[in-house]
Amino acid sequence: MDEITATELKERLARNNKIQLVDVREPSEFEICNLGGELIPMGELPKQASRIRRDIPVVVICHHGFRSAQAINYLNQRLGYDNLLNLKGGIHAWATQVDPDMAVY
C-alpha cells in the first residue's frame, strides 16, 4: 500500500498539486479536526465510492492510519482503485508534525 507522510502531504498541498482528500472517520471525529476534503465514513464507502476520483491522487485519512488502510484495501480489491495513498499516522500525525494548533483526541 502506498503511503504519504503528513509533511509530504503538506508540501503537495502547498504546491497546489491536484489531489483529493477523503476522510473515512465518523462525522463527530471530523468536527473535532479535519483537513477538509470529502467526509465518507467507513460504513458509507460502498454507497459513496463514486465520490472518490480515479483521475488524480487520492489521500485517504483517518485518526491514526488504520481505518484508512482498511478503506484503501477495500477500494483496491473490490472496486479496482489504483490511485490511493494512505496518510501515514492519520490526522494525529498531521496535528503533531505539521499543525501543532490542531485539536487532538
- From 58, 60, 62, 72, active-site residue: 62
For 8, the enclosing helix (H) or strand (E) is: helix 6-14
62 catalytic? Reply is: yes
Exposure string (b/e) for 64-79, b if CB count within 10 Å is 16 or more?
ebebbbbbbebbeeee
What sections of 15-81 are H helices per DSSP? 27-32, 45-48, 66-79
As annotated, the active-site residues are 62
